[in-house]
Amino acid sequence: DAKTTQPPSMDCAEGRAANLPCNHSTISGNEYVYWYRQIHSQGPQYIIHGLKNNETNEMASLIITEDRKSSTLILPHATLRDTAVYYCIVRSHGSSNTGKLIFGQGTTLQVKP
């Protein structure tokens, strides 16, 4: 699975959009971009994933560049409860994948009042 690079930390004002970037320049054609987050003292939580099209769900939006070498997770209206470590993970689907997640250091997002 391709490696990802994320900024170690970011701040965001409550109520504003939080844009979390992720670089995955070595991503291959069959690899998906996944985002998980870990709120303090809790287990990781799935947010969203995508292959090449932009995706949106009730939690967030995922914007993937046309060359797929980077992506941005957008929390449209950040709340204090969104303060967490956000992990961008690249992984393939199919028989060659064992289902394991390889976590990097992630981005610590601090939402401030």
Partner 1 sequence: DTAVSQTPKYLVTQMGNDKSIKCEQNLGHDTMYWYKQDSKKFLKIMFSYNNKELIINETVPNRFSPKSPDKAHLNLHINSLELGDSAVYFCASSQGGQGNTEAFFGQGTRLTVV
**Among 24, 91, 107, 111, interactor with partner 1 by CB under 8 A:** 91
Report CA 80 to chain centroid distance, whole Å: 18
- Could you tell me which residues are beta bridge partners of residue 46? 36
Number of neighbours of residue 49 by Cβ within 10 angstroms: 17
**Among 43, 53, 66, 113, interactor with partner 1 by CB under 8 A:** 43
**Among 13, 17, 80, 102, interactor with partner 1 by CB under 8 A:** 102
d(CA 50, CA 18): 19
**Among 16, 69, 93, 112, interactor with partner 1 by CB under 8 A:** 93
d(CA 24, CA 5): 7
Task: Say whether residue 85 binds partner 1 (CB under 8 A).
Answer: yes
Q: Which residues bind partner 1 (CB under 8 A)?
A: 34, 38, 41-46, 49, 85, 87, 91-95, 97-103, 105
